Amino acid sequence: MASSCRAILALCLLAAVLCPALSRPRPFTSLPVDDSRLANGLSYDFHANSCPNLQDIVWPIVESAVLGEIALAAGLLRIFFHDCFPQGCDASLLLKGANSELDLAPNLTLQPRALQLIEDIRVKVHAACGATVSCADIIALATRDAVFVAGESEVFYFYEMPLGRFDSKAPASSSAVFDLPQPSADANTLIDSFKSRNLEPIDLVALSGAHTVGKAHCSSFSDRFTFPRGDAAFVGQLRDNCTSDPNRLQDLDVATPIVFDNTYFKNLMEGKGVFTSDVVLVSDSRTDWGVKGLAENKWWFYSQFRDSLVKLSQFQPTGEDVGEIRRNSCFATNGQSDQEGFAASA
Ligand code: HEM
Ligand SMILES: *[C@@H]1O[C@H](CO)[C@@H](O)[C@H](O)[C@H]1NC(C)=O
Ligand SMILES: CC(=O)N[C@H]1CO[C@H](CO)[C@@H](O)[C@@H]1O
């Protein structure tokens, strides 16, 4: 009896994953939106005329991809961060070929399937609207939708993403890419690094909450085994697991690894953060109150994460040249031939 129930349940789950008819309609928000506080050139309805169905095209692709492979939500979030932080959200990260950011150490572990998903979405969007939407806007929308799918949707706030970004014509410089904070960073370094991008300590705390999903290689937190920090038994377990299998992937949120929720902060309160950059947030007076507050109040986490992500999403490259809408591929500038773009990736 019990086993036949389980079989039916398994079938229903499978159907929910495979059957698009069961997919949820695109979430929307009825909150009033105010363009006046957005960065230059961005607006919530930027594509209202050029691509009115944009969000209805993006949502079902992301929803079915993430339901099929929940890890893509983490993959997109990290791509978004790594694209935006060095020189602004301009899809410079995606360029392949000479001087590609993807060839630099901090990007060593970006998920190839999440990168490809962005290009797959571009193809569908451009088929419907022509080359009117940048890869940078597609990354922003896809990331927002993926987080929603991975979250507790009944309580998660949906929100509008500012749009109107342009794609870069070249990769970011390697020095800008190496500006991405290291997992071994201390609180001062993290706070300064975020501050230099106009992000407050509370933004650092909330955005680090992205580590409520996703995984890390042992090499990313091996410094934990030299410098005692956090819960000693937990660190011992991390070390033992990495010793027995150095290639294992460690869940960043050990309690609820595939749900986008505030458990990451509850773990931190118990000393169970994976990176030094996570653990130090609990013991600095500029961030400890944020960790405690977001651990105690998931509503605050959801709204703070939204605000901080929307803030990060508005980083724009400085300079005269606003960029372009990549026409042939998110992996290649319009000047690069497709050949060059893809040859480099082979
Ligand atoms: C505060 C400074 C941060 C540091 C030092 C940091 C560092 C790292 C490192 C080292 C990894 C694991 C790489 C690997 O071993 O495979 C990782 C994974 C991840 N990071 Fe961060 N990160 C930071 C902030 C962020 C932010 C702001 C976001 C997004 C808003 C983010 C999202 C993610 C996600 C989702 C993963 C898992 C990726 C996957 O499973 O594919 N991180 N981070
Ligand atoms: C270490 O591995 C064991 C056995 O697979 C697992 O139960 C435990 O959760 C792992 N520890 C951490 C910190 O992930
Ligand atoms: C996803 C991706 O392209 N990763 C690259 C990151 O950089 C290393 C070299 O440092 C490449 O080998 C990876 O392919």
User: Per residue in 234-288, pLDDT tens?
Assistant: 999 999 999 999 999 999 999 999 999 999 999 999 999 999 999 999 999 999 9
82 is catalytic: yes
Percent of the chain, pLDDT > 70?
Answer: 88
pTM: 0.90
pLDDT reported for residue 342:
43
How many whole angstroms from 89 Cα to the centroid of ligand 1?
17
Tokens of 170: 């070249």
Q: Give CA separation, 168 vs 47, 90, 344, in Å.
A: 19, 5, 18
Mean pLDDT of the 68-97 span: 96
Average pLDDT taken over every residue of the chain: 89
Residue 213 CA to residue 207 CA, distance in Å, equals: 12
How many whole angstroms from 157 Cα to the centroid of ligand 1?
22
Q: Which residues, 6+ apart, have CB-to-CB distance to 35 below 8 Å?
A: 42, 43, 44, 45, 162
User: CB–CB of 108/180 below 8 Å?
Assistant: no
Question: Which residue has tokens 């920090």?
Answer: 229
Q: Is the pLDDT assigned to residue 346 strictly greater than 80?
A: no
User: CB–CB of 275/253 below 8 Å?
Assistant: no
Please report, to the nearest 10 degrees, the dihedral formed by the alpha carbons of residues 175, 181, 185, 190 taken in order. 110
pLDDT reported for residue 245:
97
pLDDT reported for residue 339:
47
Mean pLDDT of the 220-235 span: 94
Q: Is 43 helix (H, G, I), strand (E, B) or coil?
A: strand
Ligand 2 site-directed mutation target among 221, 241, 270, most atoms within 8 Å of CB: 241
pLDDT reported for residue 43:
94
pLDDT band at 4 (very low <50, low <70, confident <90, very high): low
Tokens of 260: 């986008």
Q: Is the pLDDT assigned to residue 14 strictly greater than 90?
A: no
Tokens of 274: 């994976």
Ligand 2 site-directed mutation target among 211, 224, 237, most atoms within 8 Å of CB: 237
